Structure 1
């Protein structure tokens, strides 16, 4: 099913038919405000900041009683927010643009990953050294993902056979001409465990780089409960800073929550990769992997730029995912609830 059509049908149910409910949580018997965060996938390191803030008491210290709701394939993130079943969610920036193009007032309030982990995984013995070498390969991919038309329009998938992807790299084991869509925080380790030497082709290197691990809420929440939004955003921001310094506590919680074959080794690998994605301007070839991230960079974690959102909206418009000029990039995000103080990690 085309992902854009899938979202459009779900969003239309709640926007057009008026079956949404209040998005403001109600105070419980305790002094803490109940809040639900909907994930866009099964619990993994891409959600580490929320699990860290829950596990180490950061949410509780902010007087928040947070429930993290696991997602899965085709999780209806926007409808869950519009119905008020969850007040916040974690998704990707390109999904925010799609939601808004379909009439859903979804707003990004924190972007943990500055670089997107989306990649294509190929075997070292495939003969593929870059995207320009993919002709003749079979690519396992999930239809409807926006990075695919981006690659097609630039000719990188010319001569490539596209087949469905079922969240497994098993086909690569016996066939060097198989490539798979992947996340750099997960599948490279799975390949290594299968005894494969692989090459990771990062789609962000081509210019397709939506923010990921993005915390979102609704415009109604921002207008009606700005103090609550600030609490959740800043606590989650602190959670991400702490997770990227020491992920063990959050990874233990993720391992308990994920019932889909997740392992401690995979989480340890993924959380290490996430640090590079969150702080791309800090980690270099001469950086000690064990060195702490400077406080001034920690304080900037989660911030978004107008230029990045402008580029993303223009790219998606060029791909004809919505009508040109129908989305204002400035409406897609806000930095107003993020803390800029270096004490964010304390």
Structure 2
């Protein structure tokens, strides 16, 4: 069974015995891979774009197949709630933001993060050139997604004194920004800035990470049950994904681009090339020599503390259940210079 792309829109506490037993099955899994590929469905958080390119590249170049996996990518969009899909058993893993996973775990949901694509928050605000920093946006109209109200918006309120009255729903249409010189809109580093630049719209992009916002972007999240039952399969997924991402950003991007455009014909080759350059320029996946798909306790500590502070709840450490480092510690693929 070949991997396909669907066109439809240290902290975690795992039973050590069950995890090690699963990892011991890698040898057996190697023999099984020669017989039949194991199916996995990955539900993403947006339409097919360069920000998800490594996963598409891993499908297109056979990285998953070589690891004995038949991966189907189910692309998302503004009306798709990937967390609900995961909890409802409609997919095996999702792309999500760590803050949302921490919130889910604090609410008793059995989900866990096993790896992270980008080593920083890649979201920010597209603003007009007269806005120098995030603090200057206090009192300005800002368009944000529904998801943002549970992720970065509470941090912005607490850090810069924003009010909920400033925020309206972002429909992923840039025209309100064009016509209102006071407005800001949420943006991924390689998305809205591209559109503004190509249309000749003057702008400044303010990355949340530069202002101290702690997070990863596009993390891989699974159910706790799948992690406990099939850690060997998930490790192979991460290994293949790391290879796919390195190929896509630092090698031959053409197979990944072809798979992306087959899933999302609206994205252009020019946009994909521009986006890859931006992702490399900000060292989105980490510094040269760093591990692809990596995570660490320090960053998760910052994320967990931030979520508790912005939610106004006691930090009891329960957020540690939102992630595990057991798999990423076994990854070896490093980012080239």
- Shorter-normalised TM-score: what interval? 0.7 to 0.9
Offset at residue 54 of structure 1 (A): 0.2
| TM-score normalised by the chain length of structure 1 | 0.79
1:291-306 equivalence runs, <5 A: 294=288, 296-297=289-290, 300-306=291-297
Deviation per residue, 1:40-81 (Å, 9 max, x gap): 222222221211110111011111111101112253323322
Q: Which residue of 1 aligns with 2:19?
A: none
Unaligned runs of 5+ in 2: 1-31
2:51 aligned to 25, 29, 46, which one? Answer: 46
Deviation per residue, 1:271-319 (Å, 9 max, x gap): 222224555764xxxxxxxxxxx5x32xx11111111111111111111
Q: Which residue of 2 aligns with 1:197?
A: 202
Quote the Cα distance in structure 2 between the aligned partners of 1:156 and 1:194: 32
Offset at residue 169 of structure 1 (A): 1.3
Of residues 193-202 and 144-153 in structure 1, the stretch that sits farther from structure 2 once superposed is: 144-153
Q: Is the 8 A contact 1:123 1:196 kept in 2?
A: no
1:173-322 equivalence runs, <5 A: 173-246=178-251, 247-258=253-264, 261-279=266-284, 282=287, 294=288, 296-297=289-290, 300-320=291-311
Q: Is the 8 A contact 1:234 1:337 kept in 2?
A: no
2:95 match: secondary structure = strand
Of residues 51-60 and 235-244 in structure 1, the stretch that sits farther from structure 2 once superposed is: 235-244
2:61 equivalent to 1:71: no
Offset at residue 30 of structure 1 (A): 6.0
Of residues 221-230 and 334-343 in structure 1, the stretch that sits farther from structure 2 once superposed is: 334-343
Offset at residue 39 of structure 1 (A): 0.8
Offset at residue 330 of structure 1 (A): 3.0
Offset at residue 340 of structure 1 (A): 3.8
Q: How many residues align?
A: 301
Q: Compare relative contact order (CA 8 Å, sep 6+) and give the higher one, 1 or 2.
A: 2
Q: Which residue of 1 aligns with 2:141?
A: 138
Quote the Cα distance in structure 1 between the aligned partners of 2:122 and 2:207: 7
2:173 match: secondary structure = coil
2:131 equivalent to 1:128: yes
Q: Is the 8 A contact 2:116 2:216 kept in 1?
A: yes
Q: Which residue of 2 aligns with 1:83?
A: 88
Q: Is the 8 A contact 1:101 1:327 kept in 2?
A: no
Quote the Cα distance in structure 1 between the aligned partners of 2:70 and 2:106: 32
Q: Is the 8 A contact 1:255 1:263 kept in 2?
A: yes
Quote the Cα distance in structure 2 between the aligned partners of 1:278 and 1:333: 23
Of residues 90-99 and 29-38 in structure 1, the stretch that sits farther from structure 2 once superposed is: 29-38
Deviation per residue, 1:145-188 (Å, 9 max, x gap): 42112111223536973222110211222332221111111111
2:131 match: secondary structure = coil
Quote the Cα distance in structure 2 between the aligned partners of 1:68 and 1:239: 14
Quote the Cα distance in structure 2 between the aligned partners of 1:29 and 1:76: 35
Quote the Cα distance in structure 2 between the aligned partners of 1:336 and 1:51: 25
Q: Is the 8 A contact 1:100 1:327 kept in 2?
A: no
